[in-house]
Structure 1
Amino acid sequence: MRFRHRAAAGFATLLLPLAGLVGLASPAEAATSATATYTKTQDWGSGFEGKWTVKNTGTTTLSSWTVEWDFPSGTSVTSAWDADVTSSGTHWTAKNKSWNGTLAPGASVSFGFNGTGSGSPAHCKLNGGSCDGGTTEPGDSAPSAPGTPTASDITNTSVKLTWSAATDDKGVKNYDVLRDGAKVATVTSTSYTDTGLTAGTDYSYSVQARDTADQTGPVSGARAVRTTGGTTEPPPTGGKIKLGYFTEWGVYGRNYHVKNLVTSGSASKITHINYAFGNVKDGKCVVDDTYAAYDKAYTADQSVSGTADTWDQPLRGNFNQLRQLKAKYPHIKVLYSFGGWTYSGGFGQAAANAAAFAKSCKAVVEDPRWADVFDGIDIDWEYPNACGLTCDTSGPAAFKNLSQALRAEFGPNYLVTAAITADGSSGGKIDAADYGGAAQYLDWYNVMTYDYFGAFDKDGPTAPHSPLTSYPGIPQAGFNSADAIAKLKSKGVPSAKLLLGIGFYGRGWTGVTQSAPGGTATGAAPGTYEAGIEDYKILKNSCPATGTIAGTAYAHCGSNWWSYDTPSTIAGKMTWAKNQGLGGAFFWEFSGDTSNGELVTAINNGLK
């Protein structure tokens, strides 16, 4: 059985922040009146984030700046922002952008980069002279992170924040207070009262220390605050889980962004979002496309809040947009999903040291830049002790052990869930792992009850890719939702911990002459992004449904044959899910729906 989690679409974007790098310019002037200081702001084991701050300490305006340094072999820059970064061997050079090269006396500017390796910069030069005071030369170190703020005296329009002090070898001068990632105040004490807020609104606060050389240290953990009073969007009714996957790479070719959840009306009709996908490398959870996740800048008209991102704010990209979405729709919970079809190959190594894997995942989810964004973690291992894109041989207990380690690390206050196979056949993938034993550690399973049949069998027979029940002539026994759910229940998984999966797309063949299921084919039908697959929003008009079978729709138009769910078949599936006592439903993925959210609406209405 093959599933549609195609994370490879995001690969080409990984190096986008380095696009347009230019050659080096000659140093503009001697660096006798400026300093460059370095801070490692994050370290996640397989990589790190670094930041340089250039400050004009002189009395005349600096017209440009160039910072140079050496990294030891094995340490390098993989992406950068707010500077043009190039290298010659182990020597690295960063030159200002056209818009941030001019520095008035006393002014400073920072640029950052992601890197691999464990080395530190050495032999720093600024405009050809000494960097004079950076951590790459003997001198001043950046301050530590302050404690996560606590909130008190919350009213309709204000909140008092208090935090524990940062430390620094030369002394802390002041603190920047960040609201939703943007600086709102600089104070010398360890408390601040923010005023002028909106009633009934969610905010996120963090703090960053600054030392006597104006170096800033890491940002503290984030504190979510909701002001009193006001009105908010009502959460969906019915008490059932209504979860959708949001794909990290969808912001590129699909041009689908977090704001689309608002404009389509979908945000008010869901309860949870799975952000897909983080990668699993070297036995650890890692952010995949850092540009899309937390660096891509949004203009005011593109953002959920209607406020444009600034070049120097600590968090941008999808994570910041999700933060804004949660402020507007506080009932929504967001989980970070790791794995998927393409990225599941690393789970076998992760299971060999489950505790270390769980620790790495929590470090990503609780990164202080976005700790308030995520409410839990989802593991999409395709498939434990079975074959997907690759074959796993970690044994039937590996999935249970991994689930137990995740729960132990994340504790009771985080959601811990898993997307799992829906192969209900005898001796199939559900039988290959201990899903019953693992269920005690997980809040629910997203049972992937779709992609049972498709043009990966190019000759057919044609069959619905998401049958709710079996039917005479079904190509494979056990390949239907009802059999999968029944098998999981028989293994001791509670009904309330099972979510029924819905695909917001169809699978199709070409070269088909028979309208009813069971016909022969010559290959995959053409698709916008991939042969044999097409979004519902396209199919509803290009190839309208001509019949239904096993609780789902099919369509024969010309020589093409498609199967997909419609608002009507989703309504039937939701009724079935309620009658089975299931915890709700989930779907892959938002961008396949219409601009007014027809399918999300059908799920919401069906689970009321």
Structure 2
Amino acid sequence: MVGLASPAEAATSATATYAKVSDWGTGFEGKWTVKNTGTTSLASWTVEWDFPSGTSVTSAWDADVTSSGTHWTAKNKSWNGTLAPGASVSFGFNGAGPGAPSGCKLNGGSCDGGSVPGDNPPSAPGTPSASNITDTSVALSWTAATDDKGIKNYDVLRDGAKVATVTGTTYTNTGLTAGTDYSYTVQARDTADQTGPVSGARAVRTTGGGGGPGPGSAVKLGYFTEWGVYQRNYHVKNLVTSGSASKITHINYAFGNVSGGRCTIGDAYADYDKAYTADQAVDGVADTWDQPLRGNFNQLRKLKAQHPHIKVLWSFGGWTWSGGFGQAAANPAAFAQSCYDLVEDPRWADVFDGIDLDWEYPNACGLSCDTSGPAAFKNLMQAMRAKFGTNNLVTAAVTADASSGGKIDAADYGGAAQYLNWYNVMTYDFFGAWAAQGPTAPHSPLTSYPGIPQAGFNSAEAIAKFKAKGVPSAKLLLGIGFYGRGWTGVTQATPGGTATGPAPGTYEQGIEDYKVLKSSCPATGTIAGTAYAKCGSNWWSYDTPATVNSKMSWAKSQGLGGAFFWEFSGDTTNGELVGAINSGLN
């Protein structure tokens, strides 16, 4: 133990432990945990270590980190230096390079339980495998970790909490609940009681208990866009006249903006000011000039009065406004407070049942590049849940890039899942005419296929990767696009052909609604679970009621929580794609 007190004081002892939280190839996230193991309070702490040449800290949080050559020093912030007996505090950093810390010192003494000089912590064990899964138990096994002085035992963690410590590489967890999702990881401990990094996560669903989404329980969610009321002339009333309102369970209202570290209004006129005439209104009652709430929010209120089973979430961000999340992540609590204040504004609090955050490229590049670090997404979601509580829905739309080192690997989606009701996995827009010369490819493939332009760009691999990171199956929704993507200048009917650019579209080149394509360019074939068509020199891919139905069957076989789609106005006037989702999940 490290003596930190003067001779006249009672003994104060502390340890510092290092763990590599994640590694995305070009960098990693590290975390130090300082624990007061003595009997008196610790007034301050300083952790020092050495990195080999070529490894460095690029950013840090919850500590002031400085360096001199390859020697690094972290000092407590003004608010986290005092540690009562038994208390601990962690600080983290993003790093570059392949090296691990050595020569750890805590307040000038040995870290004793961290990276002890001459005794490296153990490696991560292999990702556990699961077998003999029953209603109430699962058998786990994993490959051994390595250590320069030997492995003492392993901690088994379920959903992040330790449930057992074992000396071997197997463990059977009993007393579980039927039909329930769990996530398991393993962490090794060496003979000096140093812990190494946790293994990869294994998602397990016990048998029984309904076995996944059953009739009436699956989420069937659609996005309603605020701008649809303009050129598209699509209004909340269309959900009723199309028959879709009776076939969905949730609506995401898109989008609120993320600006200045806050949730802000996206389009005030469409949201709560536009006056509806009687023939446009859900209930046939016209808005008046002096009523307190008009616009889409009031129409959604009227929709919920007619269809009380529908829950509405206010969605913030999206592709265009995801660039604002980096600033929001710098102060998660303040951001969550701003979102709560806006969603729960007394003028429309009864309209919304929760919030959805569409941060589409955390710690990665999209319309802009985000450098907030792999922990930022989890930290933001934790703050949202803490503020919105258990009675509100908190969800997120997330990338489906399952390529090695891709966007799913860039953020801690597994760690964040505990704070969310579900993820909307955006399993569409994998391919499109932004690659103007092709090759032509379906924008929403369910599976891979020979010749696919990019490995990992398909729904099945995306869902599998989220599960492998510990996200429960029931917290994953499969995404469906109510539109197609297309090229022109194409001579080859089957996928993989060359092109000269994007095909013409009603509102934007290279994209067209399903309701248009079903007649203007009927499907001529299917590949990887989705449809395609060649009409003249134009080539399109899109989902049809038949392919949607097969995707819903696949979603049920995977135990997913349901499906969602972008967005209502792309469907036919009688809502045939919504109908396919509904029937496919029942």
2:244 to 245, 255, 266: 266
The answer as to 2:285 corresponding to 1:304 is no
1:464-494 CA-to-partner distances (Å, cap 9, x unmatched) read 0000000000000000000000000000000
1: CA distance between counterparts of 2:508 and 2:319? 15
Q: CA deviation at 1:288?
A: 1.2
Paired residue for 1:430?
408
Letter paired with 2:223: Y
The answer as to 2:545 corresponding to 1:571 is no
Paired residue for 2:309?
331
Q: Percent identity?
A: 83
Taking a change above 3 Å as real, the CA distance of residues 261 and 237 of structure 1, as seen in their structure-2 partners, is farther
Which stretches in structure 1 are left out of the alignment for 5+ residues? 1-235
2: CA distance between counterparts of 1:604 and 1:488? 24
Q: CA deviation at 1:237?
A: 4.5
Paired residue for 2:473?
495
2:447 to 457, 469, 472: 469
Paired residue for 1:365?
343
Paired residue for 2:232?
254
1: CA distance between counterparts of 2:367 and 2:380? 20
1: CA distance between counterparts of 2:216 and 2:480? 18
Paired residue for 2:358?
380
1:290 to 263, 268, 275: 268
Q: CA deviation at 1:238?
A: 3.0
Paired residue for 2:530?
552
2: CA distance between counterparts of 1:426 and 1:413? 37
**Paired residues for 1:197-276 under 5 Å:** 237-276=215-254
1: CA distance between counterparts of 2:233 and 2:520? 21
Paired residue for 2:584?
606
SS in 1 for 2:293: coil
2: CA distance between counterparts of 1:532 and 1:237? 37
Paired residue for 2:374?
396
1: CA distance between counterparts of 2:522 and 2:578? 19
Q: CA deviation at 1:589?
A: 0.1
2: CA distance between counterparts of 1:345 and 1:479? 23
1:416 to 367, 381, 394: 394
Q: CA deviation at 1:454?
A: 0.3
1:537 to 499, 515, 521: 515
Paired residue for 1:406?
384
1:521 to 492, 499, 502: 499
1:450 to 428, 438, 449: 428
**Paired residues for 1:83-102 under 5 Å:** none
SS in 1 for 2:351: coil
**Paired residues for 1:70-89 under 5 Å:** none
Letter paired with 1:521: A
Q: TM-score, normalised by structure 1?
A: 0.61
Q: CA deviation at 1:319?
A: 0.1
1:423-480 CA-to-partner distances (Å, cap 9, x unmatched) read 0111100000000000000000000000000000000000000000000000000000
SS in 2 for 1:604: helix
Which stretches in structure 2 are left out of the alignment for 5+ residues? 1-213
SS in 1 for 2:303: helix
2: CA distance between counterparts of 1:573 and 1:495? 15
Q: TM-score, normalised by structure 2?
A: 0.63
1:484 to 447, 459, 462: 462
1: CA distance between counterparts of 2:396 and 2:356? 5
Paired residue for 1:589?
567
1: CA distance between counterparts of 2:215 and 2:462? 27
Letter paired with 1:595: T
2: CA distance between counterparts of 1:394 and 1:243? 29
Paired residue for 2:142?
none
Paired residue for 1:440?
418
1: CA distance between counterparts of 2:401 and 2:578? 25
Q: CA deviation at 1:382?
A: 1.8
Letter paired with 1:389: L
Q: What is the CA RMSD across the aligned residues, in angstroms? A: 0.7
2: CA distance between counterparts of 1:414 and 1:388? 29
1: CA distance between counterparts of 2:513 and 2:316? 23
1: CA distance between counterparts of 2:579 and 2:324? 36
1:262-297 CA-to-partner distances (Å, cap 9, x unmatched) read 000000000000000000010000111100000000
Letter paired with 2:237: K
Paired residue for 1:149?
none
2: CA distance between counterparts of 1:311 and 1:443? 38
SS in 1 for 2:532: strand
Paired residue for 1:125?
none
1:69-106 CA-to-partner distances (Å, cap 9, x unmatched) read xxxxxxxxxxxxxxxxxxxxxxxxxxxxxxxxxxxxxx
SS in 1 for 2:497: coil
2: CA distance between counterparts of 1:377 and 1:520? 42
Give the number of equivalent residue pairs. Answer: 373
1: CA distance between counterparts of 2:309 and 2:444? 29
2: CA distance between counterparts of 1:345 and 1:549? 34
1: CA distance between counterparts of 2:392 and 2:215? 22
1:472-523 CA-to-partner distances (Å, cap 9, x unmatched) read 0000000000000000000000000000000000000000000000000000
SS in 2 for 1:372: helix
1: CA distance between counterparts of 2:216 and 2:528? 26
1: CA distance between counterparts of 2:528 and 2:352? 37
The answer as to 2:540 corresponding to 1:562 is yes
Q: CA deviation at 1:239?
A: 1.0
Letter paired with 1:290: A
2: CA distance between counterparts of 1:370 and 1:550? 43
1:307-344 CA-to-partner distances (Å, cap 9, x unmatched) read 11000000000000000000000000000000001111
Q: CA deviation at 1:306?
A: 1.0
